[in-house]
Structure 1
Amino acid sequence: MTLALEIISPERLLLARQVSMVVIPGTEGDLGILPEHAKLITSLRGGMIDIYEDDEIIDRFFVSGGFAEITETRCTVLADEIMKLADINRDTAAEQLAAAETEYRDVDEADPTAWRNASDRLITAQARIDALAHQ
């Protein structure tokens, strides 16, 4: 039994295929999605999307955030920004992390929107660095 997976970036439909399982980075933790999963809509944090065929990872993507809609037969990922793991540039990722750390350190904590945005950027930048360990 398989699950229809669609990954959609702001620019285009990036992937549409049948998979055995997909693991997505939900904001409350990683979610393993199998056929016949309960219906769910969740927001995504920065992290890895692992696509499985049988018991093997066949593809990996880094997503900066977005949403996922899950039904019994389908998982649709609407990504803010998504890239193949192999396309992450180590130097660029390090620069983004340094900038996010500076922004987070300097944010006005009395402004909850600014604090949340800085926090989200820091989490995503750190997740991008962490993803490089999987290359």
Structure 2
Amino acid sequence: MATFQLELVSPEKLLLSRAVEMVVIPAAEGEMGVLPGHAPMIVTLRGGTIRVMEGGKDAERLFVAGGFAEVTPERVTILADEATPLAELSKVEADRRVVEAEAAYAAASNDTPEKRDAAMANLLAMRVMRDVAEAA
């Protein structure tokens, strides 16, 4: 099967760089599958799971807290705010981060709409992190 280059970069390091058959990303508009030859675009990511497909099945799954993806016919570059393999997620840590995000959202109630939206996006991402940590 045809492949394309996938690169996943977090602020700390390059997490993934290899040829893959398909990737499913949590775009802000919904789950988005990318195959070789996809139309070029740049999309915003929401908190969710990236699924790397090889051999017709999930080869790797990673949680991302948000970011951007640049899609070209030959490459997908994901610039993630935070990325963690699902196997490394901790339910206890995810619960703690949900509590922090809830407090930050409550504290942003009198801030600008942009700051409230950012706090809500973080809260939603942390809730997804908790959900996938429980399922892992």
Normalised TM-score (structure 2): 0.92
Matching of residue 17 in structure 1 with residue 31 in structure 2: no
Is 2:91–2:134's contact at 8 Å kept on the other side of the alignment?
no
**Equivalent AA in structure 1 for residue 51 of structure 2:** D
For the residue of structure 2 that corresponds to 1:115, the secondary structure is helix
Displacement of 1:68: 0.4
**Residue in structure 2 matched with residue 38 of structure 1 by the alignment:** 39
Match of 1:104 in 2: 105
Specify the alignment match of 1:55 in structure 2: 56
1:110 to 1:81, Cα distance in 2 relative to 1, 3 A:
closer
Structural mapping, 1:53-132, within 5 Å: 53-108=54-109, 111-132=112-133
Shift, 1:109, TM fit: 5.0
Distance 2:96 2:48 in 1: 18
Structure 1 segments unaligned to the other structure (5+ residues): none
Separation in 2 of the partners of 1:11 and 1:99?
Answer: 22
- Aligned-residue sequence identity (percent) comes to 41
Q: How far apart are the structure 2 equivalents of 1:3 and 1:131?
A: 27
How big is the shift at 1:106?
4.2
CA distance in 1, matches of 2:35, 2:71: 10
User: Aligned partners of 1:110, 1:73: CA distance in 2, in Å?
Assistant: 42
Distance of 1:110 and 1:14 partners within structure 2: 34
Provide Cα deviations, 1:65-100, integer angstroms capped at 9, x if missing partner.
Answer: 111000111111011111111111111100111222
The two structures have a TM-score, normalised by structure 1, of 0.92
| 2:5 paired residue number | 4
Structure 2: 5+ residue runs without aligned partners?
none
- Specify whether residues 55 and 28 from structure 1 end up closer, same or farther in structure 2 by C-alpha distance, changes over 3 A only: same
